[in-house]
Amino acid sequence: IKKIGVLTSGGDSPGMNAAIRAVVRASAFHNIECIGIYRGYQGMIEGDFKEMNARSVNNIINKGGTILKSARSKDFMTKEGRKQAHKNLLENNIDALVVIGGNGSFTGGLIFNEEYDFPVIGIPGTIDNDIYGTSFTLGYDTALNTVVEVIDKIRDTASSHNRLFFVEVMGRDAGHIALNAGIGAGAEEILIPEEDMGLDRLLDSLRKSKASGKSSSIVVIAEGDKIGKNVFELKDYVEENLPEYDVRVSILGHMQRGGTPSCFDRVLASRLGVKAVETLLEGKSNYMVGLLKDEIVLTPLEQAVKGKSQIEKELIRVSDIVSI
Ligand code: F6P
């Protein structure tokens, strides 16, 4: 391996810049070249490349977003798109790819590897934490802190007005953000796709909450929750059935994807970036680097794509206890 291409793909997440920095600098450290590929796979198809050296990544460790920009490329899902991307890589003498992204990005990398036998290493970067083979994805910790900080503010106004707030958080089909931020922010109930608590139990819990003397409540709902109602329908439903509640909705949205990465995400990004480059230098390919039990480990990319990340069920029990 003499020249590595690095790209960020899919939804951005805080810590991606720290990972780019680590990949670029680990390449420089090991005396290999590094090329930044802009706008993910789309930039690979369009030949949007830039040489990077250790100084190209100064002062980005603390920045949210991604200096390489990101995209969800439709063209890369086509054979022609991937053919063009491969041609561009060869023309630029790029030998291997480091893909920083989520499940969709890894799937793209896997297909590309199958078609062209091109070495690919994945670094999990998404706020959703929904990737098999790592306990933490880049940006997840920062997103949790953002969500908790915002819910703390919502709590102030909820308590002043004796209101119930439904706070919808991101996470796609996974409930990691909702569950962990929900506990961290002291939510009364947490609705996640992995556990269908049912509308009756929700009403029952809210009734009990009121009877026990609580004047305001926070219910965190994951965007992928399968309770069968969206957050606004849920508000109407609760107001109809429990008229004693004055309900408001707050959808946190993309603010969860931005902001200064936490120290945890920066350290994780640095460790994963170095490992990604060194894995390629060892002649290995088709792996995702991840963190399990505080060790950086490799998981075959295919397994990372096909495996299902699990929520910690124990957290549901903990939440039930601490929210009475
Ligand atoms: O995967 C990250 C994520 O922020 C999800 O939580 C969310 O469902 C999705 O991306 C939103 O995607 P977009 O930014 O394309 O609207």
Instruction: Compute the 3-state secondary structure of the chain and give helix, strand, coil in percent, each to the nearest 5.
Output: 45, 20, 35
Q: Which residues are documented as binding site for Mg(2+)?
A: 103
Q: CB–CB of 182/220 below 8 Å?
A: yes
- Rounded CA gap, 274 and 206, in Å? 48
Number of H helices, E strands in the chain: 11, 11
Q: Which two tokens stand for residue 182?
A: 């929900």
Overall average pLDDT of the 205-217 stretch:
93
Could you read off the pLDDT of 233-246 as tens digits, one per residue? 999 999 999 999 99
Strands 217-222, 189-191: pairing is parallel
Distance 134 CA to ligand 1 centre (A): 19
Beta strands in the chain (DSSP E): 3-8, 33-37, 49-52, 96-101, 120-124, 164-169, 189-191, 217-222, 247-251, 287-292, 295-300
Q: Is the pLDDT of residue 266 over 90?
A: yes
Could you read off the pLDDT of 110-143 as tens digits, one per residue? 999 999 999 999 999 999 999 999 999 999 999 9
Of 132, 149, 186, which Cα lies nearest the Cα of 260?
149
- Rounded CA gap, 20 and 6, in Å? 7
Report the nearest atom of ligand 1 relative to the CA of 177. Answer: 6
The pLDDT value recorded for residue 116 is 98
Average pLDDT score, the chain: 97
Overall average pLDDT of the 159-168 stretch:
97
Could you read off the pLDDT of 308-320 as tens digits, one per residue? 999 999 999 999 9
Cβ density class 247-274: b for 16+ within 10 Å, e for less: bebbebeeebbbbebbebbbebbbbbbb
Residue with CA nearest ligand 1 atom 12: 11
Overall average pLDDT of the 73-86 stretch:
98
Residues in the chain, total = 324
Q: Is the pLDDT of residue 299 over 90?
A: yes
Q: Which of 12, 48, 95, 128 is catalytic?
A: 128
Q: CB–CB of 43/291 below 8 Å?
A: no
The pLDDT value recorded for residue 196 is 87
- Rounded CA gap, 22 and 127, in Å? 19
> What is the three-class DSSP state of 36?
strand
The pLDDT value recorded for residue 216 is 87
The pLDDT value recorded for residue 197 is 84
- Rounded CA gap, 163 and 209, in Å? 12
The pLDDT value recorded for residue 227 is 82
The pLDDT value recorded for residue 228 is 80
Distance 113 CA to ligand 1 centre (A): 25
**What is the C-alpha end-to-end distance of the chain, expressed in Å?**
57
The overall longest dimension of the chain from CA atoms, in Å, is 70
The pLDDT value recorded for residue 53 is 98
Answer whether 25 contacts ligand 1 (Cβ < 6 A).
no
Is 128 in the active site?
Answer: yes
The pLDDT value recorded for residue 311 is 95
The pLDDT value recorded for residue 226 is 81
